[in-house]
Amino acid sequence: MTTTELEALTDWHRPLPDTDFFTAGTVAEATQLARTPGAQFIAGGTALVRFGRWGGQVPPALVYIGRLGELRHIAAEDGRVRLGGLVVHSQLASSPVIRERVPLLSQAATEVAGPAVRNLATLGGNVVINWDLVPPLLALDAQVHVHDGSAEKTLPLAALYDESGQPRLGSAELITAVTVTGDLPSTSYQKVARRHAVSRAVMGVAVALDLDGGACRQVRIGLGGAGLLSRRLTAAEDELRGQVLTDALVAQAGEIAEAAAADAFEVMDASPWYTREMARVMTERAINGASGRPVL
């Protein structure tokens, strides 16, 4: 499955083109229907409308998976939390299991778009288009479960994407679940967006860490945004691990984040310079927030 390239906006009010529409009753049926030439899965449809209205190519066939109730589960199991691919953002924001076990994800889901979108947009869809939830999922050591109709495979979220940020998924491969861990108890998510309830994050940084006194025993940092592909900030993690957090050390992590964003690209919401600057600022804020230090 691939996302679509956007062209210049010509007419926001133009109708979307006609497309074949299939409804699947099981995962096996969904993956079989997805073998139709050019077909893509659809659940909430929020990304499809956005891409289509802004000039993206609407696929010639859509396979609706919204009736697969077994993909809407949230459960704690074996030290991790398993989230079905069709769990919507409002569930992520309100679930007692998520609030207790992985509050970072609950916080991040609350800050995506507005209520109407959060009631439709799915976790699996957000992962496929490499959107705002990916940085916090990376900080939570997310594992992705993918089914092709006959077998399921599991891979780290970071390994799902190629160098261009596209998911390494075949046309008939469906994300059925994502598992995350709350093993690092101190977390923070910092986001900046042009219009907080509508726009994609210009920059979102998520930090999960474990403090031993004032020292950082373990840490994971995920960042990404409209002009920067999501990634783990492993170089900054290495600098922080085992160290007592100080202003200078946090500033150094921010500088590493800015350097790591050197490949930021021009988007409507932000210039490359602004994306790099926000990578630095939001990383510093997220580390300070997770460690209980003042967030400036």
CATH 3.30.390.50 is the classification of domain 186-291: yes
pTM: 0.92
For residues 64-69, give the mean pLDDT.
96
Q: Give the residue among 231, 242, 250, 241 at the shortest CA–CA distance from 296.
A: 250
Is the pLDDT at 26 greater than 60? The verdict is yes
SS3 57: coil
Is 209 within 8 Å of 244 (Cβ atoms)?
no
Give 175-186 pLDDT, tens digit per residue. 999 999 999 999
Largest CA distance in the chain: 60
Give 93-128 pLDDT, tens digit per residue. 999 999 999 999 999 999 998 888 999 999 999 999
Question: Can 20-64 and 69-180 be said to share one CATH topology?
Answer: no
Question: Pick the residue with more confidence: 5 or 213?
Answer: 213
Is 277 within 8 Å of 205 (Cβ atoms)?
no
CATH 3.30.43 is the classification of domain 20-64: yes
Query: Which residues make Cβ contacts (< 8 Å) with residue 16, sequence separation at least 6?
Result: 49, 52, 53, 58
Helix axes 272-291, 247-260, angle to 10 degrees: 150
CATH of domain 69-180: 3.30.465.10
Is the pLDDT at 6 greater than 50? The verdict is no
Domain-wise residue ranges, the chain: 20-64, 69-180, 186-291
Q: What are phi and psi of 59, to 5 degrees?
A: -65, 150
Please give the sequence-ordered ranges of beta strands (E in DSSP) within the chain, or none if there are none. Answer: 20-23, 39-42, 61-64, 74-77, 80-84, 143-147, 152-156, 174-180, 186-192, 203-212, 215-225, 228-232
